[in-house]
Amino acid sequence: MIPAVTVDIGTTSIKLGLYDAAGAPLDTATHPTPTLRDAYGEIYDVDAIRAQFAEFVRDLDPVHREAIGRIAITGVGEAGGLVRRDLTLASPMILWHDHRGASYLDRLGPDERARIYAVTGLPVNANYGLSKTAWALDDSVDTDGALWLNLADYLAALLTGERWAERSLASRTLALDVTTGSWSAEVAGMLGVDVSVFPPLQPAGGRPLLPEAARELGLGADVRVVVAGHDHMVGAVGAGLRRGELLNSTGTTEGLLVLRDAPVLDDRARDAKLANGLACDGDGFTLFASIPTGGSAFATLQSMLGATAAELTGRLATLHERWLTGELDPAGAPLVLPRFRGSPPPDKNGDARAVIASLRSDTTADDLVAGTFFGLVLQFRDVLDLFPERPERITVIGPAARNPLWLQLKADLLGMPLTVAQAGEVVSRGAQALASGLAPDGNAAEPREVHPDPARHARMTAWADQIAPLWAQLKAVSG
């Protein structure tokens, strides 16, 4: 492996790391993702992101810094903005879940939406870059020659002086022909966007760091900058995901991702709003679904209950024990449809909201916590059922890997074992592997198994069957 500085720009935090030739972390730092507000909402504070990165690199042990050969950048999939030739921003750097361009999609009829899915492999949604691009072109000044860059691509552009798009991130714009791997003038044109606003795809091996940037950061002249790709997909690399397996990437959101030899563009996949993409480590494809509420449920509960992270973790540990000993009854907990940030496929409605039902006069805070995690795993199963095949194995990365209740409930509901990446920052490790041009090593993620229990599986299944009508009603109610 090539020693690398990794940058993982997430929804709520930026993870910075220095990994040595053995893939071991020498230094890491985490900062809240810096944002500002404009007239339309929250936007990324790019200068602050650049400054956090520079400070991290400059503060590294000089001996370690000298060994660095790569800067590997990964991040959220659909964030972006218009970047001029001089690398100044012509538009805000828009958050991935910002829907300011949504009205540009309203003009699309059913036939156009079907055609867009057939070409791009993506369901029409305002998260993706194309509607944001259309909005930015109309809302911004001095856009001549400006290109639409993902946030990770933009950070790379600031370091290399060149504007390009990494292939997995490009496949999250709604403007890339997923089959040919080229920009689609037809689809971009449906929103009145000239396809030339999209940059060339990133060449293999990245680009050299600008000499002035190298001097500023104290790095060698031979360092290359590589955008590793969409964070969930980079995580698949870090976890050593293989064909037939499913990655369950848990961050603020919860991603489900499988690798495929070809995109799945049939009606069923379209109706399920599954998202096809280009894999970031070769010629393969990915099939992806995102559940808007994942690890963020932890913070939501923490805030609601006025509990510290340690206190909530303690509650989860106790609930886990009660679950293992059969003292925790799913029917005794409220039924939580955890759509705190919108609904997952097949609805994919950003305006959907969580519903909590079956609250009784004896419901306790512990019941509410348990109900939330019962709801999270039910929601996961719903989305898993949208995929064409059940995976042979599910690999879990991210904060869920440290949540024993969440893991065990998931294994017990699905009746299948989970492989859990114990190593921290699997995404950053994947980014280093990609920047090094090496094949993934799943063992680096230090996997362990979480096994289902047949009796608990039967109990969970019976409970899920029993509450199925109410669960369906809550989905209808949530919007």
Partner 1 sequence: MTRRLVAGIDSSTQACKVTVRDLATGEQLREGRAAHPNETLVHPEAWWQALLLAVQRAGGLDDVLAVSVAGQQHTPVFLGADGDVVTPSPLWNDLGSHPHMEDLNRELGREEWIRRTGLPLTLSDTVTKVRWLRDTHPEAATATVAVAVVHDWLTWRLLGGGPGAPDLDRLVTDRSEASGTGYWSGETEDYTPDLFAHAFGRAAILPRVLGPLDHAGLTAAGIPGIPAGIPVGVGSGDNAAAALALGVSEGDAVLSLGTSGVVYTVAPRPVHDYAGYVCSYADATGAHLPIVATLNAARNLELGADLLGCDFDELSALALAAPPGAEGLTLLPYFEGERTPDLPHARASLLHASLTNFTRPNFARAVIEGTLASQVWMLRALDAVDVRVDRLLLIGGAARSRAVRHILTQMVELPVSVPAPEEYVARGAAAQAASTLDGAFPRWSVELTQLPGSELDPRIAQQHDAAKAVLGYA
The residue (of 150 and 478) whose beta carbon lies closer to partner 1 is 478
Structure tokens at 5: 């500085």
CA distance 72 to 432: 6
Per-residue mark of binding to partner 1, 284-303 (x: CB under 8 A) = ---------x--x---x--x
Per-residue mark of binding to partner 1, 361-400 (x: CB under 8 A) = x-xxx--x--------------------------------
Structure tokens at 381: 């199963």
- Check binding of 309 to partner 1 (CB under 8 A): no
Q: Are 406 and 371 in contact (CB under 8 A)?
A: no
Q: How far is CA 292 from CA 167, 265, 382, in A?
A: 23, 23, 14
Q: Which stretch binds partner 1 (CB under 8 A): 99-107, 209-217, 355-363, 394-402?
A: 355-363
- Check binding of 94 to partner 1 (CB under 8 A): no
Q: Are 237 and 77 in contact (CB under 8 A)?
A: no
CA distance 195 to 216: 35
Near partner 1 by CB under 8 A: residue from 64, 113, 353, 459: 353
Length of the chain: 479
- Check binding of 356 to partner 1 (CB under 8 A): yes
- Check binding of 5 to partner 1 (CB under 8 A): no
The residue (of 315 and 429) whose beta carbon lies closer to partner 1 is 315
- Check binding of 110 to partner 1 (CB under 8 A): no
Widest Cα–Cα separation across the chain: 67
Q: E strands along 115-203, which residues?
A: 147-150, 176-177, 182-183
Window 459 to 478, contacts with partner 1 (CB under 8 A): 473, 476-478
Structure tokens at 7: 């940058």
HSE-CB at 207 with a 13 A cutoff on CA atoms is 21
Residues near 399 by beta carbon (within 8 Å), at least 6 away in sequence:
250, 251, 295, 298
- Check binding of 312 to partner 1 (CB under 8 A): no
- Check binding of 215 to partner 1 (CB under 8 A): no
Near partner 1 by CB under 8 A: residue from 305, 416, 438, 464: 305
Structure tokens at 89: 């921003």
Near partner 1 by CB under 8 A: residue from 359, 416, 438, 464: 359
Q: Which stretch binds partner 1 (CB under 8 A): 142-150, 260-268, 347-355, 381-389?
A: 347-355
Reference 188, options 77, 290, 108; nearest CA is 108
- Check binding of 30 to partner 1 (CB under 8 A): no
Question: Sign (positive/negative) of CA torsion 16, 18, 19, 25?
Answer: negative
Least Å from the CB of residue 76 to partner 1 = 16
Burial of 366 (0-12, 13-18, 19+ CB in 10 A): middle
- Check binding of 35 to partner 1 (CB under 8 A): no
Could you tell me how many residues of this chain bind partner 1 (CB under 8 A)? Answer: 28
CA distance 384 to 411: 13
- Check binding of 340 to partner 1 (CB under 8 A): yes
Least Å from the CB of residue 37 to partner 1 = 14
Q: Which stretch binds partner 1 (CB under 8 A): 119-127, 238-246, 351-359, 432-440?
A: 351-359
Near partner 1 by CB under 8 A: residue from 167, 315, 341, 429: 341
Radius of gyration from C-alpha coordinates of the chain: 22
The residue (of 356 and 464) whose beta carbon lies closer to partner 1 is 356
Structure tokens at 12: 């709520």
Footprint on this chain of partner 1 (rule: CB under 8 A): 293, 296, 300, 303-307, 334, 340-341, 353-361, 363-365, 368, 473, 476-478
